[in-house]
Structure 1
Amino acid sequence: MRQFVFATIVALLAAAPSTAALEKGVRAPDFATTGSLGGKEFKLQLKQQLKRGPVVLYFFPKAFTEGCTLESRAFSQAMPEFKKAGAQVIGMSSDDLATLKRFSKEECRDAFPVASATPTIVKAYDVTLKAKPELTKRTSYVIDRSGRIVMVHDDMKWSEHVTKSLAAVRALKR
């Protein structure tokens, strides 16, 4: 069933190009939401997270689908490198909190939080999946400590999100 859902999403996306409205250099919209790290619920506010360093904010369509699982595992494996570069990773999805709790434990492997992308957040970051508005596009933003977006990668293929985000975070340290 998961493969069917994922294949359907990919097929729908192939018909229309994906673009992110938020451009490099603009201020990232602040937000507050609920998230999960290692299956434990917590409140998350972007402004507070940025006090600790740059943030990789990546939106993914649906927990436990093939691409989202592979992407989350790749981010979890790369967490030592993100931490070394001083950055945090936060996954965002429109999934319900109970699903995100399970996903944070099973697929993110307790390495980073995933949080609820509310309709307000989805709209602010322009990540609505046009073909299935209840889902988000796969979009990664790297946000520097000042709250400016320094990198946007908007591609439904999961494979380059980690490497591009990590390169952008490393460039901030130079």
Structure 2
Amino acid sequence: MKRLFFGALVCALLSAAAWAALKDGDTAPDFTLPAAVGGKSFVFKLSEALKKGPVVVYFYPKSFTRICTEEAYAFAESAENFAAAGAKLIGVSADTIETQIEFSSKECRDKFPVAADPNLVAIRAYDAVRAKPGPNGATIADRISYVVAPDGKIIYAYRDPEARKHIENTLATVRHWREEHKN
């Protein structure tokens, strides 16, 4: 019964994934970006993080805006659940590293890193550019989440302007992946 539930859940989640540009089974573009966690900067490299398990890469429009802050809070509240399932989290926006240093402490509550992509390298590679420009006509990221398996393949993609389902959907996907890959 448990397997049936997980299968149905994943099918439901995957149907929502049709909105995302990169699809299940696509190779996730590797990226290296300046990032911050707990107010301290470091360099985040996706391929290195994948050596330790799946990675949830979530793109968001702008740090310190209402919905992005709500999303950061929700990911922070669930960070231990992601860790228990063996997954790493990384948020990515077009903000500067200086902004991400502050956002990582205040809104992410020191629970997970956020990366700075002002040159839109990862944002473009993941087809996460928002169609409508942000403030002052700036190009910003759309709200899209990907779960990347350790083999570098995308196993889930979800695009939605609202934040709520990003957390529950990616966590369910990670848990399902972990259940299927128990040793």
TM-score if structure 2 supplies the norm length?
Answer: 0.83
SS of 2:147's equivalent? strand
1:121 aligned onto 2:122 = yes
* Cα distance in 1, alignment partners of residues 161 and 88 from structure 2: 22
Count of aligned pairs between the two proteins = 157
In terms of fraction of residues, the more helix-rich structure is 2
On the 8 A contact 2:60/2:92 being kept in 1, the answer is yes
Name the aligned partner's letter for residue 104 of structure 2: S
* Cα distance in 1, alignment partners of residues 141 and 19 from structure 2: 12
Instruction: Give the counterpart of 1:140 among 142, 145, 148.
Output: 145
Name the aligned partner's letter for residue 86 of structure 1: G
State the Cα distance separating 1:120 from its structure 2 match.
1.9
SS of 2:104's equivalent? helix
Match of 1:155? 160
* Cα distance in 2, alignment partners of residues 91 and 122 from structure 1: 11
SS of 2:41's equivalent? strand
On the 8 A contact 2:19/2:158 being kept in 1, the answer is no
Mapping for residues 11-160 of structure 1, pairs under 5 Å: 19-117=19-117, 118-132=119-133, 134-160=139-165
Structure 1 residue ranges without an equivalent (≥5): 1-17
SS of 1:108's equivalent? coil
* Cα distance in 2, alignment partners of residues 60 and 119 from structure 1: 12
Match of 2:4? none
* Cα distance in 2, alignment partners of residues 45 and 25 from structure 1: 20
SS of 1:160's equivalent? helix
* Aligned CA-pair RMSD: 1.2
Match of 1:170? 175
Name the aligned partner's letter for residue 39 of structure 1: G
Structure 2 residue ranges without an equivalent (≥5): 1-17
Instruction: Write out per-residue CA displacement over residues 24-59 of structure 1, whole angstroms, 9 at most, x where no aligned residue.
Output: 111100011100011101011100000011000000
Instruction: Write out per-residue CA displacement over residues 126-163 of structure 1, whole angstroms, 9 at most, x where no aligned residue.
Output: 01111115110000000001011001110011110000
Instruction: Write out per-residue CA displacement over residues 69-102 of structure 1, whole angstroms, 9 at most, x where no aligned residue.
Output: 0000000000111011000110000001111100
Name the aligned partner's letter for residue 65 of structure 1: T
SS of 1:34's equivalent? strand
* Cα distance in 1, alignment partners of residues 130 and 146 from structure 2: 16
SS of 1:153's equivalent? strand
TM-score if structure 1 supplies the norm length?
Answer: 0.88
